[in-house]
Copies of this chain bind each other. A is one copy, B any other.
């Protein structure tokens, strides 16, 4: 049976001490797929079109790692993906957001209070319509006081927030369908990541974001 939806603020009180992004493992890994034979300049131009001055950005042959504050990371992702999609080419981005597991595979900050900034500034619209399949993973090992975690409670709360924002289209198998301006889709994903991150330390989120698709939208 589905769980009762509880507002996130009833689940825990966030810590007030803000750790820096690197020590808390805040960042993203993303890949950009412009479906054109000339994909190399589209990707390289998009990567240079966005302001990375506040971020650590490392690109390899599979994906690009981005570390910095939540707001800076999401703004950079919006600008890179928007630059590629502004070419008109059908472009898909795959975005992984992570927090609370800084040491690569080893989560050296596992114990302690979860932390996430209270507010994520809404990203300015891009004028580009995006469709996304989105998944959120609060990696909750259970609470020492209650003895059990409940990773689905955070997911239900976040989906309610996406409905309020207007980007929610429907629940799919293994993912939630979002539609809207690229900025609103990314804001929804970022908000969900932070909301879950206020009650669970290690939280990841994945989104496959499609723009300029020639296929009929299955969405809104």
Which A positions have Cβ atoms within 8 angstroms of B? 1-3, 25, 27-29, 31, 33-37, 39-40, 60-63, 65, 67, 90, 92, 94, 96, 98, 101, 103-108, 110, 131-133, 135, 137-144, 147-152, 155-156, 159, 171-177, 202, 204, 206, 208, 210, 213-219
Contacts and interface: CB of A to CB of B under 8 A. Distances in A.
**A-B CB proximity, top 6 nearest:** A142-B142, A60-B218, A33-B33, A61-B215, A2-B106, A141-B149
Copies in the complex: 2
A208 B133 CA distance: 15
Given A61-B216, A142-B148, 9 more contacts: A2-B106, A31-B208, A35-B39, A60-B218, A61-B218, A104-B171, A139-B140, A140-B140, A144-B147
Nearest to A90: B39
A110 B155 CA distance: 14
23 contacts: A1-B108, A2-B103, A27-B173, A33-B33, A36-B36, A36-B37, A37-B37, A61-B131, A61-B213, A61-B215, A62-B132, A62-B133, A63-B175, A63-B208, A104-B171, A105-B155, A105-B171, A106-B152, A135-B204, A139-B139, A142-B143, A174-B204, A206-B206
